[in-house]
């Protein structure tokens, strides 16, 4: 089963393949910004892949549209839509040192 690691804390969560990064973060009690509850509208759930980008399932049409509209960089994904298929390491700009 894929392991999602959250940096800089190093906290990890094992989750079933095909689950979203947001689901892993919720289970790990790592807060991820969101205002549309996974409808693919707000883009607040943007996370950066530090490792394992190739272990993510490719973005679907909704995530692709959001990534384009919100000008995601190639390493950024929408946590509520991005599904893991293997081990990945992610971070966001707002996970500061309180989680270290
Ligand atoms: S929670 Fe709004 S796009 Fe992910």
Q: What is the CATH number of the domain that holds 69?
A: 3.10.20.30
Between 5 and 98, whose confidence is greater? 5
List, in sequence order, every residue forming a beta bridge with 31; answer none if it has no partner.
none
Check whether the bond before 8 is cis (ω within 30° of 0): yes
The answer to the question of residue 37 being in a domain is yes
Residue 72 C-alpha to ligand 1 middle, in angstroms?
13
Residue 69 C-alpha to ligand 1 middle, in angstroms?
13
Q: Which two tokens stand for residue 56?
A: 């993510």
Note down the domain range covering 34.
Answer: 3-94
Residue 81 C-alpha to ligand 1 middle, in angstroms?
8
The answer to the question of residue 99 being in a domain is no
- In this predicted structure, the answer to whether residue 65 has a pLDDT above a threshold of 70 is yes
Pocket (CB within 6 angstroms of ligand 1)? 34-36, 38, 40-45, 66, 78, 80
* DSSP-derived secondary structure letter, 36: S
pTM over 0.75? The answer is yes
pLDDT (tens digit per residue) in 6-63:
999 999 999 999 999 999 999 999 999 989 988 999 999 999 999 999 999 999 999 9
The answer to the question of residue 100 being in a domain is no
For residue 98, the model assigns a pLDDT of 53
Question: Per mean pLDDT, which range of 26-40, 57-71, 79-93 is the poorest?
Answer: 26-40
> 15-54 burial string, b = 16+ CB within 10 Å, else e?
beeebbbbbbbeebebebebeeebebbbbebbbbbeebee
For residue 97, the model assigns a pLDDT of 57
Structural domains counted in the chain? 1
Which atom from ligand 1 is nearest to the alpha carbon of 45?
4
| Alpha helices (H) in 11-72, listed in sequence order | 21-27, 61-69
């Amino acid at each position: 089963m894929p392991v999602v690691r959250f940096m800089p804390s190093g906290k990890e969560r094992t989750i079933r393949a095909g689950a979203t990064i947001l689901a892993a973060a919720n289970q790990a009690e790592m807060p991820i910004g969101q205002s549309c509850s996974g409808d693919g509208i707000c883009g607040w759930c943007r996370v950066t892949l530090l490792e394992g980008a190739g272990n993510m399932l490719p973005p679907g049409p909704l995530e692709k549209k959001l990534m384009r509209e919100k000008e995601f960089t190639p390493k950024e994904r929408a946590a509520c839509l991005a599904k893991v298929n293997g081990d990945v390491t992610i971070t966001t700009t707002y996970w500061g040192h309180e989680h270290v």
